[in-house]
């Protein structure tokens, strides 16, 4: 474990990993190990900490190799769904911005979207809790990626363009950051 922590580094040069590898890493980081029965809030236990065990941060996956697809991983049902974009230009704008940040990366992009309503159901000041949970999830995914021999790089983007492209309510669906994941470039 110490070697994993000490060896983890962000990489800005990234080759594509298979969607299966990426989904395996996301599933390990987000799938519930325990689901509280008969709970109106769908509380679960996962390897990433979360306020009230709500896990209110969804992971969206931008798969750019095929015509850019936007997917959402559902950890409760271990299912991936394809999302329909009401405004596809938002996705293209976001991809352009991410390529400017990582010009040498041909990676899958992960985006974190917080569901403010889920956290508001239990807490008075939910915003800071969502930000904390997104940071914990980002760190968990970085470590899982390293354990799976994938490379990972947080991006300096929130992803509001994606929330807008999906026409989600910005008052309840908060863009909380993005990261690139893939394979190390072979020399």
CATH value at residue 117: 3.40.109.10
Predicted confidence (pLDDT) at residue 11 exceeds the cutoff of 90: no
Confidence of residue 5 (pLDDT cuts 50, 70, 90): low
Confidence of residue 12 (pLDDT cuts 50, 70, 90): low
pLDDT of the residue at 136: 95
User: Average pLDDT, stretch 3-21?
Assistant: 76
Please, are residues 115 and 148 in contact by the beta-carbon 8 Å criterion? no
Percent share of the chain, pLDDT over 90: 51
Which DSSP helix (H) or strand (E) runs through 67?
none
User: Average pLDDT, stretch 92-120?
Assistant: 91
Provide the domain limits for residue 73. 2-184
Distances (CA, A) of 163 to 28, 113, 119: 25, 8, 18
* Start-to-end Cα distance in the chain: 27
Distances (CA, A) of 156 to 24, 113, 140, 176, 181: 24, 15, 18, 11, 14
Predicted confidence (pLDDT) at residue 187 exceeds the cutoff of 80: no
pLDDT digits (tens, 9 = 90+) for 21-56: 999 999 999 988 777 778 777 767 888 988 876 888
Predicted confidence (pLDDT) at residue 140 exceeds the cutoff of 80: yes
d(CA 50, CA 57): 9
d(CA 81, CA 187): 35
pTM of the model: 0.89
Please, are residues 26 and 73 in contact by the beta-carbon 8 Å criterion? yes
**Using CB atoms within 10 A of its CB, is residue 100 exposed (0-12), middle (13-18) or buried (19+)?**
exposed
The count of domains in the chain is: 1
């Amino acid at each position: 474990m110490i070697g994993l922590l000490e060896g983890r580094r962000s990489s800005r040069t990234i080759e594509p990993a298979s969607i299966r590898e990426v989904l395996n890493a996301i599933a390990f980081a987000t799938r519930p190990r325990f689901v509280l029965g008969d709970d109106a809030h769908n509380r679960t236990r996962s390897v990433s900490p979360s306020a009230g065990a709500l896990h209110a941060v969804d992971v969206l996956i931008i798969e750019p190799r095929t015509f850019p697809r936007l997917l959402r991983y559902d950890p409760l049902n271990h299912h991936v769904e394809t999302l329909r974009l009401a405004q596809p230009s938002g996705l293209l704008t976001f991809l352009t911005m991410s390529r400017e940040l990582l010009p040498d990366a041909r990676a899958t992009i992960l985006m974190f979207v917080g569901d403010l309503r889920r956290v508001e159901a239990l807490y008075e000041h939910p915003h800071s809790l969502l930000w904390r949970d997104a940071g914990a999830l980002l760190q968990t995914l970085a470590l899982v990626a390293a354990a799976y021999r994938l490379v990972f790089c947080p991006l300096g983007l929130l992803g509001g363009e994606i929330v807008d492209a999906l026409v989600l309510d910005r008052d309840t669906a908060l863009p909380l950051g993005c990261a690139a994941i893939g394979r190390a470039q072979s020399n």
